[in-house]
Amino acid sequence: MRRPRPRPSLGILGGMGPSATADFYRRFVERTPAGSDQAHLPVVMWADTAVPDRTEALLGQGPSPLPALVEGARWLQRAGVSCIAVPCNTAHAYVEQLSKATGTEVLDMIGAALEAAARRTPGLERVGVLATRGTRLTGLYERAGVRLGLDVVQVTDGVQERYVDAAIRAVKGGADPAAPERWIATAAESLKEQGAQAAIAACTEIPLISGAAARVLPLVDSTDALAEAAVARLWQPAQVVRARGRRG
Amino acid sequence: MRRPRPRPSLGILGGMGPSATADFYRRFVERTPAGSDQAHLPVVMWADTAVPDRTEALLGQGPSPLPALVEGARWLQRAGVSCIAVPCNTAHAYVEQLSKATGTEVLDMIGAALEAAARRTPGLERVGVLATRGTRLTGLYERAGVRLGLDVVQVTDGVQERYVDAAIRAVKGGADPAAPERWIATAAESLKEQGAQAAIAACTEIPLISGAAARVLPLVDSTDALAEAAVARLWQPAQVVRARGRRG
């Protein structure tokens, strides 16, 4: 079914949402230190936009996205990928199950984002997270923070609903980015008031509207952190990024 | 092997080069009039960066990219895509053979770019083309121009080598874009002197460095024209974009 692949290749399990997937793929290409087309890393992508909404599933308001994620991961496996990147923070609630069900290495976007924040802000102790309600609910960032010795803070329920949820919804709906960008900056202000020294744009839609927030606090883009981790994993095979599934 | 797809889906046969593929995917998503993740069109992508250089093959200086293209197209077919977009102008020299070998509908980037130029410049008679040496050699744009009643002009050999080839090579190599952008503007000036009323950025690397050229002549981005054609083909199934392979 396939010829042997001489080089490591990346599988992208995307479409959650498609703009964020396109942003991730661009960053992965930009971060790859290749000098010609042929030197770049092969990529295959499955962007099934019909994957059920992750936050709705986590809130018990909709079907699980897991079957669609497993189908996509199996298809990427058959294409011979070395590992899979899932450029959606909320979908990471399912990554451990996905990795176990398929035996595939899935890169850990949550750990990559927190590690990038620690590297970029020396002495970092408290980091704020701008995420979907689904990601907040799962405690993914809090648990990874414990492992890395970081105190993770979230916005209040009011700020979440009024500014963060509204901004993510607006980006996914293709709205004008001016208002969502202000809302995300307001949410970053509230994290700063709670003592956060840095923040993570922990939903792949947020980096698309985080220009103003980055002037409030040092802001790590989770999409870019995942791209960096993917290049590190594949460009230098000796450098092993631990897969979430293997850790869990 | 796969569940039935309720909606049309796009296959992207990419990696030629990867930056251009990322640019195409982003434009496809942006041009899709969807109001939520789930309303977007499913996409699968095969970006095998090891596809042999298209221009070298056409100049008789390297192996044919056709076997690698056929392998990718077969893999996309197995994923159940409705049609395939190949965001590389030079690769269109092989699209007719690719379509015949696999029985897959492949969207026609060359026709889409010329049609977009004719729509955007009323009364267009002469259109200039900024392309690789490979695309120039095949006469792809000239033949499509005859069909559409457009006179297609190319830059001189000297301008091709000194400005266009050098700029494409610099983008593929990840160089600073300032100098390549000036070179492409110089090439656009030379097309204007030859009577071109508009120009086509007919290599998918050129739109990444065409800001200055677009101030010289109305410039159609072939990547964007292909994205527009793909959305038209898939978002409104009644609107049939003729596949190059079917025409050929």
A37 domain-assigned = yes
**Strand order, beta sheet including A198-201:** A151-154, A126-130, A198-201, A219-221
| Tens-digit pLDDT profile for residues A70-93 | 999 999 999 999 999 999 999 999
Q: Chain A 4-63, CB below 8 Å of chain B: which residues?
A: 6-7, 12, 15-19, 21-23, 25-26, 29-30, 32-53
Are A15 and B40 an interchain contact pair (Cβ–Cβ within 8 Å)? yes
Given A23, A44, A53, which is nearest B46 (Cβ)? A44
Q: Is the pLDDT of residue A2 over 70?
A: no
- B171 belongs to a structural domain: yes
User: Is a pLDDT exceeding 50 seen at residue A238?
Assistant: no
Residue B247, min C-alpha distance to chain A (Å): 29
The answer to whether residues B65 and B84 belong to one domain is yes
pLDDT of res. A233:
95
Q: In this complex, which of A36, A44, A46 lies closest to B173 when CB atoms are compared?
A: A36
Task: Note the pLDDT tens digit of each residue in B57-92.
Answer: 999 999 999 999 999 999 999 999 999 999 999 999
Same structural domain for residues A68 and A166?
Answer: no
Contact yes or no for B44 and A47 at CB 8 A: yes
Confidence at B140, pLDDT banded by 50, 70, 90: very high
pLDDT of amino acid A4: 44
Q: Is B88 a catalytic residue?
A: yes
* Residue from A83, A88, A127, A219 carrying the catalytic annotation: A88
In degrees and rounded to multiples of 5, residue B72 shows phi and psi of: -65, -45
Ramachandran angles phi, psi of B120, nearest 5°: -85, -20
Residues A98-144 have pLDDT tens digits of 999 999 999 999 999 999 999 999 999 999 999 999 999 999 999 99
Q: Torsion angle, CA of B9/A10/B26/B203, rounded to 10 degrees?
A: -100
| pLDDT averaged over every residue in chain A | 90
Residues in chain B, overall count: 248
- The answer on pLDDT for B243 being more than 70 is no
Classify residue A5: in a domain, yes or no: no
The interface predicted TM-score (ipTM) is 0.87
For residue A149, pLDDT over 80 is answered with yes
Q: Percent of chain B at pLDDT above 70?
A: 92
The distance of B213 to chain A (nearest Cα, Å) reads 23
B50 contact residues in A (CB cutoff 8 A): 6-7, 38, 42
pLDDT in the model for residue A208: 87
Among partner residues B17, B75, B174, which is closest to A79 by beta-carbon distance?
B75
Nearest CA in chain A to B16: A37
Pairing of strands A10-14, A83-85: parallel
**Closest chain A CA to residue B37:** A17
Among partner residues B32, B35, B174, which is closest to A35 by beta-carbon distance? B174
Closest CA–CA distance from residue B185 to any residue of chain A (Å):
23
Q: Are residues A163 and A200 in the same domain?
A: yes
Residues in chain A within 8 Å Cβ distance of B36 = 172-173
Q: What is the mean pLDDT of chain B?
A: 90
B3 domain-assigned: no
Residue of A16, A19, A40 best to disrupt the B interface, most CBs of B under 10 A: A40
pLDDT tens digits, one per residue of B117-130: 999 999 999 999 99
**CA separation, residue A46 to residues A12, A17, A81, B209, B234 (Å):** 6, 12, 12, 29, 17
Torsion angles phi and psi, residue B139, rounded to 5: 70, 20
Interface of A with B in 78-117 (CB under 8 A): 79
CB contact under 8 A, A53 and B38: yes
Answer yes or no: do A231 and A167 share one domain.
Answer: no
H or E element at residue A43: strand A43-47
pLDDT band for position A6 (50/70/90)?
low
Task: Tell whether B2 is covered by a domain.
Answer: no
> Cα-flanking dihedrals φ and ψ of residue A42, to 5°?
-65, 145
For residue range B39-49, what is the model confidence (pLDDT) as tens digits?
999 999 999 99
Q: Does residue B163 have a pLDDT over 90?
A: yes
Question: Has residue B5 been placed in a domain?
Answer: no
Verify that A62 and A88 share a domain, yes or no.
yes
Number of domains in chain A: 2
A62-71, A164-173, B188-197: range with lowest mean pLDDT: A164-173
Residue A173 lies in a domain: yes
- Residues B54 and B121 grouped into a single domain: no
Residues B215 and B133 in one domain: yes
The shortest CB-CB distance from A42 to any of B19, B41, B48 is to B48
Query: CB-CB: which of A2, A41, A174 is closest to B49?
Result: A41
Is A218 found in the same domain as A117? Answer: yes
pLDDT at residue B182 tops 50 = yes
- pLDDT of the residue at B185: 97
| pLDDT 10s digits, A18-60 | 999 999 999 999 999 988 888 999 999 999 999 999 999 999 9
Q: Domain containing A113 — which CATH number? A: 3.40.50.1860
Contact B47 A50 (CB under 8 A): no
Q: Is the domain of B88 the same as that of B61?
A: yes
CA distances from A193 to A95, A154, A157, A219, B91 (A): 32, 12, 15, 15, 55
Mean pLDDT computed over B109-121 = 97
**Percent of chain B whose pLDDT exceeds 90:** 82
- B172 falls in which pLDDT band (50, 70, 90)? confident
Residue B44 has what pLDDT?
96
Q: Does A187 touch chain B (CB under 8 A)?
A: no
A92/A133 same-domain check: no
Q: Is the pLDDT of residue B225 over 50?
A: yes
Do A14 and A98 fall into the same domain?
Answer: yes
- Residues A211-238 have a mean pLDDT of 90
Residue A30 Cα, gap to closest chain B Cα (Å): 8
Is A88 assigned a catalytic role?
A: yes
Q: Which residues of B touch A18 (CB under 8 A)?
A: 29, 32, 37, 40, 43
Say yes or no for a CB contact (<8 Å) between B6 and A41: no
> Domain range spanning residue A18?
10-108+224-247
Q: Is residue A2 part of a domain?
A: no
Same domain, A188 and A134: yes
Q: A25 and B30 in contact by Cβ < 8 A?
A: no
The DSSP string of B79-113 is TT-SEEE---TGGGGGHHHHHHHHT--B--HHHHH
The length of chain A, given as a count of residues: 248
pLDDT for B236: 59
